[in-house]
A and B are shown apart, each in its own frame.
Chain A
Amino acid sequence: METLLELQGISKIYPGVTALNNVDFTLRSGEVHALLGVNGAGKSTLVKIICGAQPPDSGTIKLQHNLLQIKNTADAMRNGIVVVYQERTLIPHFTIAENIMLGLEPGRGQLINRRKLNERADQLLKRLGVELDLNKEVIQLGAGQQQLVDIVRALRTEPKVMVLDEPTAALSQAETKHLFDLLRQFKKQGIGIIFVSHRLDEVFEISDSMTILRDGHVVSSGPISEYTPARVTQDIVGRSVAKLETTPTLNIGAVLLETQNLSSAEFQGVNLKINSGEVVGLAGMVGAGRTELLETLVGFRRATSGKILLEGKPTQITSPENAIRHGIVLVPDKRIEKGLLNRMNVLENLTVASLKRYSGRLGWLQQKKMQEAATKAMDRLRIMPPSLNTPVQSLSGGNKQKVVFGKWLASSDDVRGLIFMFDEPTEGVDVGARADMWVIIRNLAAQGAAVLITSSDLDELMAISDRLYVMRRGQIINEGLKQEFTHDSILQQMMGG
């Protein structure tokens, strides 16, 4: 495998922070090279430089030993470097074919040759074994399918280098498997793939080599055989992360939340119980109805039948505001979309859910109290922006997640009797912060709250739950103590095999 892309001495400085410091990076053709690091370590910046969205302040980029001057994204594309981003980069009301061929539509001058456009798109789709109706508007597709269209699109210029930024974040297990099959195909064609991800199991499954960044410089780099998950974690975080010891359950108290035969369009006949002092895990595939169930429990959606009982009393939860007053809190998935006030800064975001605690007479907000609470949350969660006034938009993805977390943790000192629900609590969060969050979640239970968490990460569920429910196609099909399950048995039940 020969050298394909070579970055030497790349540095990039933004006002106040050195994003990249003398970074070397080599990609060989036909390999999958994983790029890992804490959020804020410099991965996104490196990707932006490779694809031409940002120029480096110093250093060189060579493609197949030729020095490249990349001024913008069009330059990068012309040189055969494509990026598949996390956020959707499709035109919503254009068809699949139109999106795939955007910017490269066949035709003479102003007239676009529709037939050729559809033909070419069809060729690409078929080559990758994707069966999608190319006349469908992409807005009608699910997240995984849109991702697929993104990838087909990346192929259209016969790229040499493909960068995938957290590609599996929105994909189901089946879709991830399909993606990896495609990547292996690409490898055979000699394409070099840079795979940015947090998911260690996936990284170990598909990568040939990896590079780990921390604080803007390369900590280590080499073939996958030189790494173990423990070493990777250590390199990423800079300290050894002790394996989480699950505390034995001591104080399981009364039933705080119970549902009886709860049903809606997305789930049927759900019976579950959550006691104070315990963490209950909810396992299920994408589409099983977990998120919808949690959103119903917090009043964001309405159930069509069944009952919700709080401390034994049937209660109508009519809205999230209503739910919060009853002591039910949801930290949602896709936190960046659903949980942040994008035009405000860190202080405002951290305190917005608990303003009552900082208001004195006549509703006047006491700045000092707000700053104290916000700083406390930042320390607890190790949120790392330069200051409380940093606009939340400019934080790294993982730090944004922590802010949403922090918003709800700041809302009460005494959590006894409260019900916390977490949907994919550590999605998009780096290894170091993950362990911190697990400890915080367990502590909530230890202090007397009831916690319900749902996650696609079975290791996570097994690590922090006391009891588990398994959900499939809208129904709870099994429940039991954590010890009664294994990773594989849960998976099997989730998938219905």
Chain B
Amino acid sequence: MAQISNSKSNEPRGFDVGNFVNRFGTVLALIVIFVLFSVLSSFQGGRFLTSQNLINILRQVATLAIVASGLTIAVAAGEFDLSVGQVASLTGILMAGLIVRQELPWGVAAIGALGTGMLAGLITGMLVTRFKIPSLITTLGMGLIAVGVNYAYARGDSIYGRMPEEYTFIGTGTIGPIPFVVIVSAAVVAVLYVFLNYTRTGRYILATGGNPTATRLSGININKYRLIALMISGFCAAMGGSILVSYLGSAQPSGADNYAMDSLAAVFIGMTTIRRGQANILGTIVGVLILGIINNGLNLVGAPFFLQTIVKGSVLILAVSLAVRREEIRFF
């Protein structure tokens, strides 16, 4: 009987340097940036490489990691969610407001805030799946609506006041040397990782994003999985926003708006590594760390603020353009 074989499968399995660099190039970049800042900072007192600063970095990126991981799920399903920043800000304001102004127990406030995030994701999902409006446009609109609701509730005020200790512990407490917020963040990211890679729903989300036609023809309801993905994204945005308020002790009306750009950058950087070409959680974390280290490092060496955004933007462009060049990612 004739046999077709893939000639490559019989090649000796040596260590393929080229392939390794491709796959982990971005991680190498992360290490290089880390080393770079360690060196630069050592000329100015060496505050970068201290355990306190390193823990700080983790603390600073913890909430972003949650939001970006939620966004990863949406992108994995083939959708954009540009509203994560404004939804996070809204839910932060709601959280603080429900506690300080309406004097509700923080558990109830949390349900309200997280529920709002999920609702935003649900509405977005409905518009995308029932009315076939592209998620890029829908979430752009939802983000603006979230800003509107935000101002309707708090009129543009920032909200601060006494908050219960159990709640503030989430953002500011430590267990030993490790900030609790980092533990919470790591737990959420781990759950999302397992969800996306090991559960059936996660698999179908990835399939929907990878080739919607093929997935539908396999009898899978792609709209259901798009909806789930967008709800997860909204929920994680809400979680990020609520925890941020605990961390800062107050809620700013647009406090988490920049999460949108940063999360997207992290997700796209993440698509260039670990599981190239697909949105993936570990890759997103690499992206989050790169952004966090750049922020922190530039701060410490006293670089002017504008340099931070320029560097972040350049890193994003560089990472994605290399991946596109190697034809690992294709946009439209």
B217 near A73 with CB under 8 A, answer yes
B51 within 8 A of A: no
Scoring B residues 207 to 235 as 1 if CB is less than 8 Å from chain A, else 0, what string do you get? 10011011111111000000000000000
Across the interface, B215 reaches (CB within 8 A) one of A102, A111, A175, namely A102
Chain A interface, >50% SS class: loop
List the one stretch of A132-140, A385-393, A467-475 in contact with chain B: A132-140
A177 near B2 with CB under 8 A, answer yes
Q: Which residues of B contact A109 (CB under 8 A)?
A: 200
Q: Which residues of B contact A131 (CB under 8 A)?
A: 3-6, 9
Scoring A residues 148 to 188 as 1 if CB is less than 8 Å from chain B, else 0, what string do you get? 10000000000000000000000000110110010000000
B173 within 8 A of A: no
Q: How far is the CB of A333 from chain B (nearest CB, A)?
A: 19
Listed A/B pairs (10) with beta-carbon separation below 8 Å: A85-B217, A93-B276, A93-B277, A103-B215, A103-B219, A111-B199, A131-B3, A131-B5, A145-B6, A178-B4
Given A73-B217, A93-B275, A105-B200; A133-B6 close (CB under 8 Å)? yes
Q: Lowest 5 A-B CB distances belong to which pairs?
A: A74-B219, A91-B210, A103-B218, A131-B5, A89-B214
Q: How far is the CB of B276 from chain A (nearest CB, A)?
A: 8
B198 near A111 with CB under 8 A, answer yes
Residue of A nearest to B330 (CB): A92
Residue of B nearest to A96 (CB): B6
Q: Which residues of A contact B152 (CB under 8 A)?
A: none
Across the interface, A112 reaches (CB within 8 A) one of B2, B9, B203, B210, namely B203
Given A73-B217, A77-B219, A181-B2; A110-B9 close (CB under 8 Å)? no
B6 near A110 with CB under 8 A, answer no
Given A132-B9, A148-B4; A93-B217 close (CB under 8 Å)? no
B201 within 8 A of A: yes
The CB with the most chain B CB atoms within 10 A, among A98, A103, A130, is that of A103
CA gap between A85 and B177 in the complex, in Å: 58
Q: How far is the CB of B44 from chain A (nearest CB, A)?
A: 44
B4 near A112 with CB under 8 A, answer no
A residues with a Cβ closer than 8 A to B are 53, 72-74, 77, 83, 85, 88-94, 98, 102-103, 105, 107, 109-112, 129-133, 136, 139, 141, 144-145, 148, 174-175, 177-178, 181
Q: How far is the CB of B192 from chain A (nearest CB, A)?
A: 14
CA gap between A53 and B216 in the complex, in Å: 10
A94 near B206 with CB under 8 A, answer yes
B3 near A91 with CB under 8 A, answer no
Q: Which residues of B contact A83 (CB under 8 A)?
A: 217
Q: How far is the CB of B220 from chain A (nearest CB, A)?
A: 5
Residues of B1-50 whose CB lies within 8 A of A: 1-6, 8-9
B278 within 8 A of A: yes
B200 near A102 with CB under 8 A, answer no
Q: Which residues of B contact A181 (CB under 8 A)?
A: 1-2
Q: Which residues of A contact B217 (CB under 8 A)?
A: 53, 73, 83, 85, 89
Residues of B174-213 whose CB lies within 8 A of A: 198-201, 203, 206-207, 210-211, 213
Given A92-B277, A178-B2; A73-B207 close (CB under 8 Å)? no
Question: How many residues in B have their beta carbons less than 8 Å from beta carbons of A?
Answer: 29
Q: Which residues of A contact B278 (CB under 8 A)?
A: 93
CA gap between A25 and B214 in the complex, in Å: 27
CA gap between A61 and B210 in the complex, in Å: 33
CA gap between A72 and B203 in the complex, in Å: 22
Q: Which residues of A contact B215 (CB under 8 A)?
A: 91, 102-103
CA gap between A109 and B203 in the complex, in Å: 13
B219 near A110 with CB under 8 A, answer no
Q: How far is the CB of B97 from chain A (nearest CB, A)?
A: 36
A94 near B207 with CB under 8 A, answer yes
Q: How far is the CB of B8 from chain A (nearest CB, A)?
A: 8
CA gap between A321 and B114 in the complex, in Å: 55
Residue of B nearest to A93 (CB): B278
B211 near A141 with CB under 8 A, answer no
Scoring B residues 137 to 167 as 1 if CB is less than 8 Å from chain A, else 0, what string do you get? 0000000000000000000000000000000
A94 near B210 with CB under 8 A, answer yes
CA gap between A178 and B278 in the complex, in Å: 33
Given A92-B211, A92-B277; A133-B219 close (CB under 8 Å)? no
Across the interface, A93 reaches (CB within 8 A) one of B9, B210, B219, namely B210
Given A130-B3, A136-B9, A139-B277; A112-B199 close (CB under 8 Å)? yes
CA gap between A130 and B216 in the complex, in Å: 26
Q: How far is the CB of A261 from chain B (nearest CB, A)?
A: 29
Q: Which residues of B contact A107 (CB under 8 A)?
A: 200
CA gap between A132 and B9 in the complex, in Å: 7
Given A92-B210, A92-B211, A94-B206; A129-B200 close (CB under 8 Å)? no
Given A73-B219, A89-B217, A133-B9; A112-B3 close (CB under 8 Å)? no
The CB with the most chain B CB atoms within 10 A, among A93, A144, A175, is that of A93
Q: Which residues of B contact A141 (CB under 8 A)?
A: 6
Given A132-B5, A132-B9; A91-B207 close (CB under 8 Å)? yes
Q: Which residues of A contact B220 (CB under 8 A)?
A: 102-103
Q: How far is the CB of B23 from chain A (nearest CB, A)?
A: 12
Given A90-B214, A92-B277; A129-B6 close (CB under 8 Å)? no
Q: Which residues of A contact B277 (CB under 8 A)?
A: 92-93, 139
A102 near B207 with CB under 8 A, answer yes
CA gap between A59 and B200 in the complex, in Å: 38
B9 near A175 with CB under 8 A, answer no
Q: How far is the CB of A423 from chain B (nearest CB, A)?
A: 21
Residue of B nearest to A103 (CB): B218
A145 near B4 with CB under 8 A, answer yes
Q: Which residues of A contact B206 (CB under 8 A)?
A: 91, 93-94
Not counting A102-B207, A111-B198, A132-B6, a sample of 18 additional A-B residue pairs whose C-beta atoms are within 8 angstroms of each other reads: A73-B217, A88-B211, A89-B211, A89-B214, A90-B214, A93-B210, A93-B275, A105-B203, A107-B200, A109-B200, A110-B200, A112-B199, A112-B200, A130-B3, A131-B3, A133-B8, A136-B6, A178-B4
A91 near B211 with CB under 8 A, answer yes
Residue of A nearest to B2 (CB): A178
Q: How far is the CB of A168 from chain B (nearest CB, A)?
A: 14
Residue of A nearest to B3 (CB): A129
